[in-house]
């Protein structure tokens, strides 16, 4: 089997029976169309019902109105016949745990738009798995047109295990935190040097190449699908020219964190690379929110977005086996996910991340944004703005299905975060519309 993963605003069509097309959905909708006679099928991941003319032209698959016609045209190019097509719809969750003004009903609007368009096109819907407050994985098997939808609802992950409240011991936590080594001295010096507009590209290159691990990981990342560059880069100076100083700093930061984020976090139901995708998405959206609100430094927002869920790496190492019981606890006591973490483990992933941030000597306001990103009401006034940015960016990522996990949709949205940033629902919809296809730069 060959697994092809598509993300927001992408589609894939195929006739290779070895291919399985897969996507992760929050309030976005996934539509699979399959012609059982020609054995040709495709899957599309759509973000909103419709976009402006320019956005729909640049990213047709992000929108229902332009995405479905584009998917059908590609299927027909591969030999599918419109009259034989069967459709399967999933996603459209309401990724918002409390009623608030930010609830744009995006999930429901997406579902209604798809149903109306399919009816107009006379394509029968064989399966509909939409709504709820949880993310889903949707898979289309090209061999036989089978569609599989795995929900990340806590119910789907229940273990039935008896609930234990022992909490993690400080020694366990300290040991794991000690094992997670921060960036090398050279990576930190490179970040500092790339902040100086007077620094020459040559001097930064000379510095970076002293650290072979950093150099290798920089190239691995910049030449990966995350960046999607038209040609491979082979020298640090080339990357600097291509990305600019700001882009290069982001690349160094991403490389430092990639080793922690790339792995599968089975406890949180996150496949390989999903936490990295979530971190990139949150960092990028946090930066956009900082720019729009004008009350938070862009670079702070970017870094806080990158590291906000680092505590999941800590808790996965300490307690992944206890997470199914934690989910049972959340359901039986009607708790939010972070509250269930606190009850079951003694701390939530925000607090675990803040401990790691302190160990890594990150600035206190960054540690605070990590600690309180699910509970911004607890932030002190001075720190509230950055906390609000990360809280909202995380929520927008979940809305779009960027790196969803077991906890997606199971934490509350604090609408005060919008007021603190002097933003409204229209500005959030503008940000949703402007999320780039490539999150890395």
Binding site residues, Fe ion, CB under 5 A? 309, 394
Residue placing its CB nearer to Fe ion in the complex, 193 or 411: 411
Residue placing its CB nearer to Fe ion in the complex, 35 or 341: 341
CB of 374 to Fe ion, least distance (A): 6
Q: Which residue has the tokens 């229940």?
A: 158
* Two structure tokens written together for 113: 């738009």
CA 202 vs CA 5, 189, 190, 194: distances in Å: 38, 14, 12, 11
CB of 146 to Fe ion, least distance (A): 31
Residue placing its CB nearer to Fe ion in the complex, 74 or 278: 278
CB of 366 to Fe ion, least distance (A): 15
- DSSP 8-state symbol, 169: -
Residue placing its CB nearer to Fe ion in the complex, 80 or 400: 400
Residue placing its CB nearer to Fe ion in the complex, 35 or 309: 309
Whether 219 contacts 233, CB under 8 Å: yes
Whether 34 contacts 140, CB under 8 Å: yes
Residue placing its CB nearer to Fe ion in the complex, 59 or 317: 317
The 8 Å CB, 24+ separation contacts for 103-108 are: 103/413, 104/425, 104/428, 104/429, 106/27, 106/48, 106/399, 106/432, 107/26, 107/27, 107/29, 107/131
Residue placing its CB nearer to Fe ion in the complex, 309 or 339: 309
Listed in sequence order, the DSSP H helices in 265-320 are 274-293, 298-307, 310-319
C-alpha angle 295/299/305, rounded to 5°?
A: 90
CB of 74 to Fe ion, least distance (A): 33
How are beta strands 11-14 and 40-46 bridged, if at all? antiparallel
CB of 36 to Fe ion, least distance (A): 39
Strand ranges inside 147-229, DSSP E: 147-151
The burial class, CB within 10 Å (0-12 / 13-18 / 19+), for 73 is exposed
Whether 329 contacts 163, CB under 8 Å: yes
CA 170 vs CA 18, 23, 180, 324, 352: distances in Å: 48, 38, 16, 22, 11
Q: 8 in helix, strand or coil?
A: coil
Neighbours of 99 (CB within 10 A): 10
DSSP state string for 332-347: HHT--HHHHHHHHHSS
CB of 41 to Fe ion, least distance (A): 32
Beta-bridge partners for 136: 25, 151
CB of 330 to Fe ion, least distance (A): 14
CB of 441 to Fe ion, least distance (A): 20
- The active-site residue, picked from 28, 61, 282, 397, is 28
**Catalytic residue status for 28:** yes
- Distance between CA atoms of residues 358 and 355, nearest Å: 5
Residue placing its CB nearer to Fe ion in the complex, 89 or 279: 279
Q: Which residue has the tokens 């941030």?
A: 357
Catalytic positions: 28
């Amino acid at each position: 089997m060959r697994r092809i993963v598509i993300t927001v605003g992408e589609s894939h069509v195929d006739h290779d029976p070895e291919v399985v097309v897969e996507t992760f959905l929050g309030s976005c909708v996934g539509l699979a169309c399959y012609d059982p006679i020609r054995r040709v099928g495709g899957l599309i991941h759509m973000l909103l019902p419709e976009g402006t003319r320019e956005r729909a032209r640049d990213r047709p698959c992000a929108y229902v109105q332009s995405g479905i016609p584009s998917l059908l045209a590609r299927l027909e190019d591969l030999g599918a016949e419109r009259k034989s097509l069967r459709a399967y719809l999933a996603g459209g969750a309401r990724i918002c745990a409390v009623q608030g003004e930010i609830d744009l009903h995006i999930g429901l609007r997406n579902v209604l738009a798809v149903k109306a368009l399919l009816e107009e096109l006379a394509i029968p819907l064989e399966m509909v798995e939409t709504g709820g407050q949880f993310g889903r994985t949707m898979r289309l098997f090209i061999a036989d047109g089978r569609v599989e939808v795995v929900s990340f609802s806590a119910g789907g992950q229940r273990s039935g295990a008896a609930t234990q409240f022992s909490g993690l011991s400080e020694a366990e936590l300290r040991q794991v935190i000690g094992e997670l080594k921060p960036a090398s001295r050279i990576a930190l010096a490179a970040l500092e040097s790339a902040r100086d507009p007077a620094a020459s590209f040559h001097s930064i290159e000379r510095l970076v190449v002293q650290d072979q691990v950093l150099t290798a990981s920089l190239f691995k990342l910049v030449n990966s699908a995350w960046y999607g560059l038209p040609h491979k880069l082979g020298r640090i100076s080339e990357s600097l020219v291509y990305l600019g100083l700001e882009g290069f700093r982001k690349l160094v930061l991403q490389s430092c964190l990639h080793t922690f984020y790339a792995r599968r976090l089975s406890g949180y139901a996150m496949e390989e690379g999903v936490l990295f995708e979530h971190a990139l998405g949150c960092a990028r959206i946090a930066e956009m929110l900082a720019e729009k609100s004008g009350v938070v430094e862009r670079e702070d927002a970017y870094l806080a977005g990158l590291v906000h869920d680092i505590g999941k790496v800590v808790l996965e190492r300490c307690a992944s086996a206890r997470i199914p019981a934690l989910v049972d606890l959340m359901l039986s006591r009607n708790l939010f996910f972070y509250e269930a973490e606190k009850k079951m483990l003694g701390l939530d992933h925000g607090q675990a991340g803040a401990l790691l941030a302190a160990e890594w000597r990150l600035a206190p306001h960054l540690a605070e944004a990590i600690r309180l990103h699910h509970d911004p009401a607890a932030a002190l006034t001075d720190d509230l703005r950055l906390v609000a940015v990360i809280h909202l960016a995380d929520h927008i990522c979940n809305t779009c299905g960027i790196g969803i996990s077991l906890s997606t949709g199971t934490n509350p949205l604090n609408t005060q975060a919008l007021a603190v940033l002097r933003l409204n629902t229209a500005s959030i919809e503008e940000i949703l519309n402007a999320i780039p296809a490539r999150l890395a730069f």
